[in-house]
């Protein structure tokens, strides 16, 4: 359910589906072979192809949920998975794939992101949000070879064409070993208006950190220079300012990652997040079962060798949702008007 969407924005299932398709598993050998149609249905809030201003309801049904794939985890806890804490917190756990801790939950985030993009398209049409995978396991790209056009030419959202082949070999090895690997995803939002955010409680960077950390398997978030900023001096970190020929302020660097004091500067918002390797692996690991017996657990289901790949469209969606939300809040308080 999405509340507060402005009225009269063009929106149909066809505007949402492509983003879901980008996240969809089973499209190549590098993602889980589970086949989910991930077809979205708009239940409410849209009339004759445009939003009505009332709550938008979206529904994505599970279609390929094989119970037998999960029978073996019914009474056991996978190390590194939420199984055990769910049972500790709630005293019950829906162990099937549709449970709330499944990465499948991110489908709805992507759908919501598509609606958020419709909001941004209408109110801030210059905004472009693009994610890329910049590190797979220990293998980082060379930022000097960054080429946005590359990222849709390979199955990894990799912007460095030269890294693709070695990543493929690395991931084939991981996959065939029944193992998994982590990765780092970078999301860049360009064309964001100056002024989104708030000074204390709902800083734009704070809300982005929450949005990204809420994605399954994410363990770290950094903005701009991020952890590197800890090593810098004030002289090196500060982004100097100059007047551009267009009469607007330009920054000479972007260590801030487009956000100062919790508020967008108009520069690119640059954010990276660390994705851990999935805990569903073939190698037996020490664990316990519901009866408290010490056991060994390995997972034979169809899982992603590198969930960071499919986290790219999810991260883009969470960026879109957070920006759209802050854009509307900014309009509430400060009366934002779209710059022509």
Site for its own copies in 69-128 (CB under 8 A): 77-82, 84-86, 88-94, 98-101, 105
Select 15 or 239, whichever has its Cβ closest to its own copies.
239
Q: How far is the CB of 51 from its own copies (least distance, A)?
A: 8
Instruction: Establish if 265 lies at the interface with its own copies (CB under 8 A).
Output: yes
Give me the helix-helix angle, 307-334 and 204-213, nearest 10°. 150
Q: What angle do CA 131, 34, 56 make, to 5 degrees?
A: 60
Neighbours of 41 (CB within 10 A): 12
Select 164 or 307, whichever has its Cβ closest to its own copies.
307
Q: How far is the CB of 143 from its own copies (least distance, A)?
A: 16
Asked if 263 contacts 204 with a C-beta cutoff of 8 angstroms, the reply is yes
Q: How far is the CB of 52 from its own copies (least distance, A)?
A: 5
Q: How far is the CB of 246 from its own copies (least distance, A)?
A: 12
Site for its own copies in 143-182 (CB under 8 A): 174, 179-182
Draw the binding track, 3-32, toward its own copies (x: CB under 8 A; -: no contact). xxxxxx------------------------
Instruction: Establish if 278 lies at the interface with its own copies (CB under 8 A).
Output: yes
Select 10 or 18, whichever has its Cβ closest to its own copies.
10
DSSP β-bridge partners for residue 195 = none
Select 113 or 183, whichever has its Cβ closest to its own copies.
183
Asked if 315 contacts 211 with a C-beta cutoff of 8 angstroms, the reply is no
Q: How far is the CB of 153 from its own copies (least distance, A)?
A: 23
Asked if 284 contacts 297 with a C-beta cutoff of 8 angstroms, the reply is yes
Instruction: Establish if 191 lies at the interface with its own copies (CB under 8 A).
Output: no
CA dihedral (138, 161, 165, 215) in degrees, to 10, reads 50
Cα–Cα distance, 181 to 315 (Å, whole number): 18
Give whole-number Cα distances, 73 to 76, 241, 282, 290, 295, in Å. 5, 56, 13, 10, 12
Near its own copies by CB under 8 A: residue from 37, 128, 176, 334:
334
Cα–Cα distance, 327 to 116 (Å, whole number): 10
Asked if 187 contacts 316 with a C-beta cutoff of 8 angstroms, the reply is yes
Draw the binding track, 196-235, toward its own copies (x: CB under 8 A; -: no contact). -x-xxx-x-xxxxxxxxxx-x--xxxxxxxxxxxxxxxxx
- # residues contacting its own copies (CB under 8 A): 126
Find how far residue 74's CA is from the centre of its chain: 28
Select 18 or 140, whichever has its Cβ closest to its own copies.
140
Cα–Cα distance, 247 to 228 (Å, whole number): 32
Near its own copies by CB under 8 A: residue from 68, 333, 339, 340:
333
Site for its own copies in 32-51 (CB under 8 A): 43-44, 47, 50
Q: How far is the CB of 14 from its own copies (least distance, A)?
A: 19
Select 18 or 100, whichever has its Cβ closest to its own copies.
100
Neighbours of 42 (CB within 10 A): 18
């Amino acid at each position: 359910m999405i509340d507060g969407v402005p009225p009269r924005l063009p929106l149909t299932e066809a505007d949402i589906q492509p983003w879901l398709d980008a996240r969809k598993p089973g499209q190549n050998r590098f993602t889980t072979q589970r086949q989910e149609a991930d077809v979205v249905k708009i239940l409410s809030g849209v009339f004759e192809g445009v939003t009505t201003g009332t709550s938008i309801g979206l529904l994505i049904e599970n279609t390929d949920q094989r119970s037998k794939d999960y029978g073996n985890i019914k009474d056991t806890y996978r190390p590194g998975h939420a199984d055990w804490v769910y049972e500790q917190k709630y005293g019950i756990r829906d162990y099937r794939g549709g449970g709330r801790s499944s990465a499948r939950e991110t489908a709805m985030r992507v759908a919501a992101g598509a609606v958020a993009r419709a909001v941004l398209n209408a109110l801030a049409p210059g905004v472009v949000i693009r994610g890329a995978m910049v590190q797979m396991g220990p293998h980082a790209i060379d930022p000097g070879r960054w080429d946005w056009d590359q990222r849709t030419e390979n199955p990894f959202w990799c912007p460095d064409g030269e890294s693709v082949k070695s990543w493929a070999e690395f991931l084939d090895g991981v996959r065939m070993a029944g193992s998994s690997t982590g990765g780092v995803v970078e999301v860049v939002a360009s064309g964001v208006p100056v002024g989104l955010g708030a000074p204390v409680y709902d800083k734009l960077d704070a809300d982005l950190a929450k949005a990204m950390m809420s994605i399954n398997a994410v363990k770290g978030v950094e903005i701009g220079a991020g952890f590197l900023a800890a090593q810098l001096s004030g002289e090196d970190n500060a982004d100097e300012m100059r007047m551009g020929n267009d009469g607007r302020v330009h920054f000479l660097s972007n260590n801030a990652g487009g956000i100062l004091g919790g508020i967008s500067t108009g520069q690119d918002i640059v954010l990276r997040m660390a994705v851990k390797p999935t805990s569903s692996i073939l190698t037996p690991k020490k664990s316990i079962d519901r009866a408290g017996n010490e056991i060994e657990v390995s997972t034979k289901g169809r899982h992603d060798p590198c969930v960071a790949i499919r986290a790219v469209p999810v991260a883009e969606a969470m960026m879109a949702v957070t920006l759209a939300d802050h854009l509307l809040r900014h309009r509430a308080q400060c009366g934002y008007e779209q710059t022509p």
